[in-house]
A and B are shown apart, each in its own frame.
Chain A
Amino acid sequence: MMDRARLVTLQIIVAIVAIALWHLLTTVPVGEKPLLPPFFFSTPYDVAERIIKWFSTGTIWRHLWITLVESVLAFVVGSVGGVLVGFWFARQPLIAAVFDPYVKMANALPRIVLAPIFTLWFGLGIASKVALGVTLVFFIVFFNVYQGVKEVSPTVLANARMLGMSEQQLMRHVYWPSALSWMFSSLHTSVGFAVVGAVVGEYLGSAAGLGYLILQAEGTFDIAGVFAGMFVLAAFVLVIDYLVTLVERRLLVWRPVTAETRT
């Protein structure tokens, strides 16, 4: 096991090497031109300049805020829906059996084809992006909660009954914690999909947000803008992922460390 300081140092070295390579390939001429034409690949310097400009003039904040709101709403609505329906299906096998093919059908559908429909239904604003994110988050949470309720250890369940729990108490002390733990174990995935839904939605038609920013830059062949948008988006995702890790550590203290399979 590597200690943290060394790990971070190595990670930073990877970033420096990648940026240095990018810089060399786009600025140092081989023969008469650089290997990668800056028109298509921009340069680290231009991209950094663009990012600094966005933040110093403050134009970026509005876009970040919009994307954040869309992501959070998609996550919350999708999760609540997924938990409720997952729980309901798991406790009502008949309903689960009846709806099974339809759930599979809906989940197999590439969500991107829904984007134009959502734009028609909900307009160009936040709502259509939230809807797209919800369709992604919902199924992840739904499947995990369903699994969580179904996969409660039969011994734990028998123990709970022998300890005198009523149906309602079983819900509260057994099914619910089990379902939530499965849901939390997929937190990184579902939060990630909430952001994907928001950005893809923006990309396909909107007036604000990180996806919109990237689309605008692409429309004018502003490659520095495209790269700057991608970097800001990456940083945004990293920050959110870090926050999720903090939340997860708090909520899943009872889990053995080996159970943390996702990164």
Chain B
Amino acid sequence: MAQGEGMTKGRTRMGAAAITFSNASIAFRLADGGSYPAVDPTSLSIADGEFVAVVGPTGCGKSTLLNIAAGLFPPSSGAVSIYETPLAGLNRLAGYLFQAEALFPWKTALENVAIGLDVMGVPQAQAHDRAQAWLTRVGLGAFGGRYPHMLSGGQRKRIGLAQVLIRDPKILLMDEPFGPLDAQTRQIMGNLLLDLWSTDRKAVMFVTHDLEEAIALSDRVVIMSAGPSARIIGDWRVGLARPRDISEVKLDPAFHALHREIWQTLKTEVLKGYEQSGGG
């Protein structure tokens, strides 16, 4: 592929690769005995401290890639390594913000955030103090006593973010975390995420179907083709300066230039992808 810098190992000063997919493919066994090739052998490397957005049409296998990075199930072929160690079983270094509702409905917001410390054996009083601090950081300090159903979608996503970050994972996996939110809330959440991320720069694999969001947030944008047999069809570095403000960065001419460039290739590649799948 001509465009971008290709699938490099990321910035060298960042050190080791946090997540490496080596020819990882996924095929699902179907109930009728057949097999659905969701993702073709894919190689992708996300450096330590790097914020990578993965963009692709719905159903191309973005969640599936995250799931194998999380170790929830293994790839059908190929391998996943975490900090150069082959992943077997759950990825203990990763925090995962799911696409679907994942809070415990029977726990209050505070308990939901504290649970990650609870299960580590942190004494409850201390866990609750730290959870309260996290609630405040995500702007929900006064909502600790509420149950998930008493919160709005955006508030639930913030609780989810606090729930994951309180454990201080080295890797953050995020699956369309702002998908169901309105444009305004997405922007607020995006800024909140960048703000939290800038304090300790975790490796982030951020899945979205929104190209603008991807460019505004990330260091690198990876584009996937439509499934079946989805694959990576592009990899761009985003050179926009940090710290960024989502609404401001979208006014930057460099943002528009990059958006146009990615979109051009995305269009032709997607069309090519359709032809290929139509022919074979």
Q: Does B95 contact A (CB under 8 A)?
A: yes
Interface string of B124-159 (1 = CB under 8 A from A): 000000000000000000000001110000000000
Residue ID in chain B nearest A166 by CB atoms: B119
A177 to B163 Cα, complex, angstroms: 19
Contacting residue for A164 out of B92, B100, B105, B148, CB 8 A: B92
Smallest beta-carbon distance B66→chain A, Å: 11
A164 to B108 Cα, complex, angstroms: 19
A64 to B102 Cα, complex, angstroms: 47
Q: Does A181 contact B (CB under 8 A)?
A: yes
Q: Does B90 contact A (CB under 8 A)?
A: yes
Known interface pairs A155-B102, A177-B104, A254-B105; A163-B119 also in contact (CB < 8 Å): yes
Q: Does A253 contact B (CB under 8 A)?
A: yes
Max chain A CB contacts within 10 Å: which of B94, B115, B163? B115
| Contacting pair A153 B116 (CB below 8 A) | no
| Contacting pair B120 A156 (CB below 8 A) | no
Q: Does A162 contact B (CB under 8 A)?
A: yes
Q: Does B271 contact A (CB under 8 A)?
A: no
A188 to B273 Cα, complex, angstroms: 57
A163 to B163 Cα, complex, angstroms: 8
| Contacting pair A162 B94 (CB below 8 A) | yes
| Contacting pair B98 A158 (CB below 8 A) | yes
Give the residues in chain A near B90, CB-CB below 8 Å. Answer: 161-162
A174 to B102 Cα, complex, angstroms: 11
Interface residues on A, range: 20 to 34
Max chain B CB contacts within 10 Å: which of A158, A162, A254, A255? A162
Give the residues in chain B near A254, CB-CB below 8 Å. Answer: 105-108, 147-149
Give the residues in chain A near B91, CB-CB below 8 Å. Answer: 162
Give the residues in chain B near A240, CB-CB below 8 Å. Answer: none
Give the residues in chain B near A161, CB-CB below 8 Å. Answer: 72, 90
A173 to B163 Cα, complex, angstroms: 15
Q: Does A256 contact B (CB under 8 A)?
A: yes
Max chain A CB contacts within 10 Å: which of B96, B103, B119? B119
A164 to B164 Cα, complex, angstroms: 11
A173 to B101 Cα, complex, angstroms: 16
A158 to B103 Cα, complex, angstroms: 11
Smallest beta-carbon distance B173→chain A, Å: 9
Contacting residue for A155 out of B70, B94, B98, CB 8 A: B98
Count of interface residues, chain B, beta-carbon cutoff 8 Å: 28
A255 to B91 Cα, complex, angstroms: 32
Q: Does A159 contact B (CB under 8 A)?
A: yes
Q: Does A165 contact B (CB under 8 A)?
A: yes
Q: Does A169 contact B (CB under 8 A)?
A: yes
Known interface pairs A254-B149, A256-B149; A164-B116 also in contact (CB < 8 Å): yes
Residue ID in chain B nearest A257 by CB atoms: B149
Contacting residue for B102 out of A159, A165, A173, A256, CB 8 A: A159
Smallest beta-carbon distance B82→chain A, Å: 13
Residue ID in chain B nearest A156 by CB atoms: B102
Smallest beta-carbon distance B131→chain A, Å: 13
| Contacting pair B106 A181 (CB below 8 A) | yes
A161 to B120 Cα, complex, angstroms: 12
Q: Does B201 contact A (CB under 8 A)?
A: no
Known interface pairs A164-B119, A254-B106; A155-B92 also in contact (CB < 8 Å): no
A203 to B175 Cα, complex, angstroms: 61
| Contacting pair B101 A155 (CB below 8 A) | yes
Give the residues in chain A near B101, CB-CB below 8 Å. Answer: 153, 155-156
| Contacting pair A174 B104 (CB below 8 A) | yes
| Contacting pair B120 A173 (CB below 8 A) | no
A141 to B95 Cα, complex, angstroms: 36
Q: Does B259 contact A (CB under 8 A)?
A: no
A156 to B163 Cα, complex, angstroms: 13
Q: Does B209 contact A (CB under 8 A)?
A: no
A255 to B104 Cα, complex, angstroms: 11
Contacting residue for B115 out of A153, A163, A256, CB 8 A: A163
A162 to B107 Cα, complex, angstroms: 17
Give the residues in chain B near A159, CB-CB below 8 Å. Answer: 96, 98, 102-103
A161 to B106 Cα, complex, angstroms: 17
Smallest beta-carbon distance B73→chain A, Å: 10
| Contacting pair B116 A177 (CB below 8 A) | no
Residue ID in chain A nearest B160 by CB atoms: A159
| Contacting pair B92 A255 (CB below 8 A) | no
Known interface pairs A155-B102, A173-B104; A162-B149 also in contact (CB < 8 Å): no
| Residues 215-263 (chain A) with a chain B CB within 8 angstroms | 253-256
Q: Does B250 contact A (CB under 8 A)?
A: no
Residue ID in chain B nearest A162 by CB atoms: B96
A sample of 21 cross-chain residue pairs with beta-carbon separation below 8 angstroms, ordered by A number, consists of A153-B100, A153-B101, A153-B102, A155-B101, A156-B101, A156-B102, A156-B103, A158-B96, A158-B98, A159-B98, A159-B103, A162-B91, A163-B163, A165-B119, A166-B119, A173-B107, A174-B104, A254-B108, A255-B105, A255-B149, A256-B149
Given contacts A155-B100, A158-B96, 4 further A-B contacts (CB under 8 A): A158-B98, A166-B119, A177-B104, A254-B106
